[in-house]
Amino acid sequence: MIRSSIYLLAFSIFLFSCETDDVVVPGGEDGPTVSLSSNQINISENAGVATVTATLSASHSVNVVVNLDFSGSASQSDYAESASSITIQAGAITGSMTITAIQDDLEEGNETVLVGIGTVQNGSSNGFQQLSFTIEDDDVAQVAQLILNEILYDPSNNALDGDANNDGVYNQADDEFLEFVNLSSLDLDVSGYKIFDDTGYAANIPNHIIPDGTIVAAGKALLIFGGGTPTGSFGGAIVQTSTSGDFNLNNAGDIVYVVDPTGSVLITFDIEPLSNNPNESYTRNPDLTGDFAQHASVVAGVLFSPGTKTDGTAF
C-alpha cells in the first residue's frame, strides 16, 4: 500500500510538471504589435518639440518596452531625447517620448533625425517602423511645407453618409474635399495658390483659387470643400469652398494639382491607383507621415474626418 501511494504521488508530480511546461507566459512573440507615430515631423531649432507615440495593436497583461534606434544627419548636439525607449504600461495601448531640438548659432541647414524601432520586449514591431523628423535651422532662410493629408473624391451616396460638409444635404460635388496641413514650424501664406483637376490643369482653368490673406499656421490644416455650406468647427481648420463651385474629381481616375502663384507645381495626387469606388475618403495613416489608406480601414465605421486627424482630434 505504501509503495502504491509513492507511485501515485510520483505520477501526479510528473503530470503537474508536464502541464506547467505547456503554460504560455504573457509576452514574447505572442505579444501585440507596435506602431510608431508622431504629432509633427518638422520642429524648429529653437527648442521645438515632437512627440513620438508607440501604439499597440491590443493591450497586454504585462509592460511592453519599445527600444528605439536614433540616426540621421543631426548629431546628438542638435537634439535631446527624453528617453531611449518607450514603456507601454500593462493594460494600456500607448506610450510616448519626446525629441527636443537644441538651439545653436551655426548655419548648418535643415537636419534630420530618424527614429526607428530596435527591439520590443513582450511584443513585436508592426513591420519596418521609422519616423523622420526635420530640425529647421533658424539661422538660414526657410520654406514652409504643405502636404495633402486627406482627400474625399467619392462621397457615399447612402443617405447622409456622404454629407462630409455637414450641411444636412448629400451632394456629390459639394461634399468632395481636400485637407492640407502645414508641416512646417513656420506660418504659410497660401494666398493665390491654385487647385486643378486633370482637365482644368490642361486648360489652365483652376477649380479653386485660394483667397488673399489665407495664412495656414504652423502644424494646422486648410480644408476645402467642393461647395455647399460647411457647418461645424472641423477641428479649427481654415475652411473654404471651391471658387468654381466644383472640384470635378473623377472617381474613375483623375489628378489633383496644387500650384503656387509663380506657377510651380507643389503637390500632385494621382487618384487612378485608388479608383475603386471607396465611398469614403483616403487619408494618410498615420496622419502626416503615412501612406494613403481608406478611412474606415483606419477607424472602423468612420468614412472621413475633414479638418481633423483620423481620431477626430485637432491638428
Query: So where are the chain's domains?
Result: 28-136, 146-298
**pLDDT at residue 1 is higher than 70:** no
Q: Is 116 helix (H, G, I), strand (E, B) or coil?
A: strand
pLDDT tens profile 143-197: 778 999 999 999 999 999 999 999 999 999 999 999 999 998 889 999 999 999 9
Outline where the chain has alpha helix (H).
2-21, 172-175, 198-203, 295-298
3-state secondary structure (DSSP) of residue 311: coil
Would you give the DSSP letter of residue 244?
T
Neighbours of 22 (CB within 10 A): 6
Residue tagged 466644383 (cell numbers) = 246
Task: Check if the beta carbon of residue 41 is closer than 8 Å to that of residue 49.
Answer: no
Residues 111 and 135 sit within 8 Å (Cβ to Cβ): yes
Q: Is the pLDDT of residue 9 over 60?
A: no
Asked if 178 contacts 246 with a C-beta cutoff of 8 angstroms, the reply is no
pLDDT tens across 306-315, in order? 999 999 999 9
What is 146-298's CATH topology? Immunoglobulin-like (2.60.40)
pLDDT of 18 reads 42
Distance CA 42, CA 101 (A): 10
Upstream peptide bond of 211 is cis (omega within 30 degrees of 0): no
Give CA–CA dist 55/151, Å, rounded.
25
The span from the CA of 209 to the CA of 222, in Å, is 13
pLDDT-above-90 percentage for the chain: 81
In CATH terms, the fold of domain 28-136 is Immunoglobulin-like (2.60.40)
pLDDT tens per residue across span 208-240: 999 999 999 999 999 999 999 999 999 999 999
The CA distance from 218 to 184, in Å, is: 6
- Cα of 43 vs its chain's centroid, Å: 16
In this prediction, residue 262 carries a pLDDT of: 95
- Decide if pLDDT at 50 tops 70: yes
3-state SS of 135-178 is EECCCCCCCCCEEEEEEECCCCCCCCCCCCCCCCCCCHHHHCEE
Residues 6+ apart with CB under 8 A from 16: none
pLDDT digits (tens, 9 = 90+) for 273-303: 998 889 999 999 999 989 999 999 999 999 9
C-alpha 242/C-alpha 208 separation (Å) is 5
Report the pLDDT averaged over residues 47-58.
Answer: 96
| DSSP structure class, residue 26 | S
Q: Answer whether 28-136 and 146-298 agree in fold.
A: yes
Tally the C-alpha atoms within 13 A of residue 301's C-alpha that lie toward its C-beta: 0
Residue with cell 468612420: 302
Q: Which three cell numbers stand for residue 187?
A: 506660418
What pLDDT is attached to residue 75?
Answer: 94
